[in-house]
């Protein structure tokens, strides 16, 4: 697309760079039909309340209806939300999203009795039904999982109450999203060419990579000045989200919000704590990288706005979208023909919404419904970072594609713990391809710097986020107040510890917690770090072993939630119950850091 000083309107974006949500519903009227269908299914399920313990056939009927309802709800909500994400100022799709949210709340209230009633069925009786009633064996894994949650499941009436509160519980995230995506406006800044350009969250990364330090600082100051105007509002929003996490954990009798979050994936607390401890042991590597960055940039003081600019200034690597697509296709060839075929389909068949436009949700994600192919939202800028983001999101998309095609709806939705493995593995293979094919010393240094930055951002930075989340939730659990000032103080202390003595931790970055949307998905970000570690190990196996490792990996992608995440990874060849994969990843970081130091020393 042609660049302009201001963002284009949605209607001005060429169709070939838009996703094709018509693949979900050809029109809004078709969406309305499924809304009515969902309401009818919810009514049918409500009519089975109190009957699940009467017979295996009644239980089977309820579980089948639940699958049909949830599958329909997924499709209804995904369509409405992604339409809104195209332009958050579009009142039509604001309305559809609100209706979909309300419908979900009503439907989950209608089915909230199912789990408590199942838990009231005697174990021997349930086993007898599973063996005797045709079709009920399909739900054995689901039923076993429900039984695992028995200590944390309330009465039918209490579950209904919590289900009806879900819309209130999601309010902090919704408020934050509308504030940061629709209402918050950023000022114009002066770019490298002396022209006034509108600052956006999507363009912020590009400005942070600018060779002109003035541009970096101006964008940095403008971004945080804007967020600073809303610091108390955002603090209230985030604190409310944290309070909600603690409330639900306590209500369900979990010892902590962190325990509750990890319990869903059947992951022990030691995995989380080991990550933070292992990273802290290796913080000297991070400090060493920061010192090298300061040296190569030739600055007296290294500031936070100097973290993203390439430290090989003579290399200018602009990657247009179409070039990124072709590069990714080649880089992922080690994953085999089956993977490559689906990948090519995703790039050419309306899966991806490529460019930023006015009102569009910032960032990037992969999402979709079981009945259609996945979709990817991008805000593509012509740089290396966005090429890796594209590869990352397509990793998510193809994970969903393979899972949806291999598993029934009941078990298609893979757990969050493994969600970042496929995406990060794509990044690892892309980096391997680029390093293997790059002979130019300056470009190689640029790519190594990029990998080191990716590692810093994905492992060190996400672990810092994870530690921040752990601290703020523990403070809430201990009854300590959380304010904009206290959140900023916690965040500053972590930045100082993680970045070391060669970094000037600017006061503005104390407020960075206010612009991290992932904090509204409690205890999610640590999975980026564990996922990166698992992906590093798996990519190495694929490159060294070939087809046997590819087969194991594709089976992992197809696993959905048919087994626990740690078991799926172990079958693929990675044991995340030990710190070894994290240490293996850190060893790669150290190796490339040393190569970078050697290349620098050779001049």
Inform me whether the pLDDT recorded for 1 exceeds 80: no
- What CATH number should be reported for the domain whose range is 321-444+526-601? 1.10.1370.20
Inform me whether the pLDDT recorded for 321 exceeds 90: yes
Fold of 10-169: Butyryl-CoA Dehydrogenase, subunit A; domain 3 (1.20.140)
Note the pLDDT of residue 316.
74
Mean pLDDT within 225-240:
96
The residue ranges of DSSP E strands in 368-471, in sequence order, are 375-377
Are 361 and 66 within 8 A, CB to CB? no
- Indicate the helix (H) or strand (E) that contains 497: helix 484-499
Helices (H), 165-230: 166-169, 171-178, 201-208, 213-228
Phi, psi (deg, nearest 5) at residue 365: -160, 165
Are 468 and 487 within 8 A, CB to CB? no
288 to 310, 452, 461, 590, 597: CA distances (angstroms): 17, 11, 15, 10, 10
**In this prediction, what percent of the chain has a pLDDT beyond 90?**
80
Inform me whether the pLDDT recorded for 571 exceeds 90: yes
Place of tokens 């936070």: 304
Confidence of residue 313 (pLDDT cuts 50, 70, 90): low
Q: What is the pTM of this model?
A: 0.78
Do 10-169 and 175-315+458-520 share a fold? Answer: no
Burial class for 451, CB neighbours closer than 10 Å (0-12, 13-18, 19+): buried
CA distance 462 to 526: 6
Confidence of residue 314 (pLDDT cuts 50, 70, 90): low
Mean pLDDT within 479-495:
97
Domains in the chain: boundaries = 10-169, 175-315+458-520, 321-444+526-601
What does the block give as tokens for 565? Answer: 């995440």
Mean residue pLDDT of the chain comes to: 93
Note the pLDDT of residue 584.
85
Inform me whether the pLDDT recorded for 462 exceeds 60: yes
Confidence of residue 224 (pLDDT cuts 50, 70, 90): very high
Inform me whether the pLDDT recorded for 330 exceeds 70: yes
Q: Is 135 left (phi over 0), alpha (psi -120 to 50) or beta?
A: left
Note the pLDDT of residue 601.
86
Phi, psi (deg, nearest 5) at residue 550: -60, -45
Inform me whether the pLDDT recorded for 534 exceeds 60: yes
> Which residue from 76, 132, 126 is spatially nearest to 105, judged by alpha carbons?
76
Model confidence pLDDT, tens digit, residues 86-95: 999 999 999 9
Place of tokens 């030990």: 578
Mean pLDDT within 478-499:
97
HSE-CB at 361 with a 13 A cutoff on CA atoms is: 20
- What CATH number should be reported for the domain whose range is 175-315+458-520? 1.10.1370.20
Computed over its alpha carbons, how large is the radius of gyration of the chain?
24
* Residue 446 Cα to chain centre, angstroms: 26
Q: What share of the chain is helix, strand, coil (3-state, %, to 5)?
A: 70, 5, 25
Note the pLDDT of residue 603.
67
Inform me whether the pLDDT recorded for 435 exceeds 80: yes
Inform me whether the pLDDT recorded for 3 exceeds 80: no
84 to 118, 360, 543: CA distances (angstroms): 37, 8, 41
∠ CA 8-14-19, nearest 5°, is 100
Are 359 and 182 within 8 A, CB to CB? yes
Model confidence pLDDT, tens digit, residues 172-186: 999 999 998 888 999
Which contacts qualify for 316-320: CB closer than 8 Å, 24 or more apart? 317/383, 317/384, 317/443, 317/446, 318/382, 318/383, 319/382, 319/383, 319/384, 319/386, 319/387, 320/382
In this structure, how many other beta carbons lie within 10 angstroms of the beta carbon of residue 578? 12
Inform me whether the pLDDT recorded for 361 exceeds 80: yes
Which DSSP string corresponds to 241-263? HHHHHHHHHHHTT-S-HHHHHHH
Inform me whether the pLDDT recorded for 466 exceeds 70: yes
Residue numbers annotated as active site = 393
In this structure, how many other beta carbons lie within 10 angstroms of the beta carbon of residue 250? 14
Helices (H), 112-155: 114-120, 123-132, 140-148
Inform me whether the pLDDT recorded for 205 exceeds 90: no
């Amino acid at each position: 697309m042609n660049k302009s000083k201001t963002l284009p309107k949605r209607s001005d974006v060429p169709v070939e760079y838009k996703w094709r949500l018509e693949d979900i519903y050809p029109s809004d009227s078709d969406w309305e039909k499924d809304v009515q269908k969902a309401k009818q299914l919810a009514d049918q399920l409500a009519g089975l309340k109190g009957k699940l313990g009467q017979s295996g056939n009644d239980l089977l009927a309820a579980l089948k209806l639940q699958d049909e309802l949830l599958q329909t709800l997924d499709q209804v909500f995904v369509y409405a939300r992604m339409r809104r994400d195209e332009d958050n100022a579009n009142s039509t799709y604001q309305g559809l999203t609100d209706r979909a949210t309300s419908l979900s709340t009503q439907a989950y209230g209608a089915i909230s009795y199912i789990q408590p009633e199942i838990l009231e069925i005697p174990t021997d009786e349930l086993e007898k039904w599973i063996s005797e009633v045709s079709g009920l064996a399909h739900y054995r894994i689901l039923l076993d999982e429900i039984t695992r949650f028995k200590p944390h499941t309330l009465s039918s009436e209490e579950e209904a109450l919590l289900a009806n509160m879900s819309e209130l519980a999601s309010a902090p995230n919704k408020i934050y999203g509308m504030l940061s995506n629709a209402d918050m406006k950023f000022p114009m800044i002066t770019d490298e060419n002396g022209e006034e350009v509108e600052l956006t969250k999507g363009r912020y990364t590009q400005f942070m990579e600018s060779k002109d330090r003035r541009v970096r600082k101006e964008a940095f100051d403008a971004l945080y000045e804007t967020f600073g105007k809303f610091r108390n509002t955002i603090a209230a929003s985030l604190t409310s989200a944290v309070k909600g996490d603690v409330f639900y954990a306590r209500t369900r009798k979990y010892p902590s919000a962190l325990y509750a979050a990890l319990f869903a994936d059947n992951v022990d607390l030691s995995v989380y704590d080991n990550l933070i401890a292992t990273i802290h042991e290796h913080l000297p590597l991070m400090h060493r990288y920061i010192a090298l960055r300061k040296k190569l940039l030739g600055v007296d003081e290294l500031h936070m706005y100097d973290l993203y600019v390439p430290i090989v200034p003579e290399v200018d690597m602009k990657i247009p979208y179409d070039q990124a697509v072709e590069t990714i296709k080649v880089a992922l060839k080690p994953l085999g023909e089956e993977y490559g075929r689906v990948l090519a389909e995703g790039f050419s068949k309306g899966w991806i919404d490529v460019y930023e436009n006015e009102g569009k949700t910032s960032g990037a994600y992969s999402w979709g419904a079981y009945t259609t192919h996945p979709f990817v939202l991008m805000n593509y800028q012509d740089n290396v970072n966005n090429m890796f983001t594209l590869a990352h999101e397509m990793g998510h998309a193809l994970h969903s594609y393979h899972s949806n095609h291999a598993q029934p709806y009941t078990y298609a939705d893979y757990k969050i713990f493994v969600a970042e493995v496929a995406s990060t593995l794509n990044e690892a293979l892309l980096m391997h391809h680029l390093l293997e094919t790059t002979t130019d010393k300056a470009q190689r240094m640029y790519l190594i710097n990029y990998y080191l930055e990716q590692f810093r951002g994905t492992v060190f930075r996400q672990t810092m986020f994870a530690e921040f989340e752990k601290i703020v939730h523990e403070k809430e659990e201990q009854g300590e107040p959380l304010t904009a000032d206290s959140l900023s103080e916690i965040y500053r202390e972590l930045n100082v510890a993680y970045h070391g003595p060669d970094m000037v931790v600017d006061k503005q970055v104390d407020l960075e917690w206010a612009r991290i949307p992932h904090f509204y998905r409690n205890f999610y970000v640590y999975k980026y770090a564990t996922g990166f570690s698992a992906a590093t190990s798996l990519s190495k196996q694929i490159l060294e072993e070939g087809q046997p490792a590819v087969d194991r990996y594709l089976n992992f992608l197809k696993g959905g939630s048919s087994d626990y995440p740690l078991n799926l990874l172990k079958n693929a060849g990675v044991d995340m119950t030990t710190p070894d994969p994290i240490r293996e990843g850190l060893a790669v970081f150290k190796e490339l850091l040393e190569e970078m130091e050697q290349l620098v020393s050779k001049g």
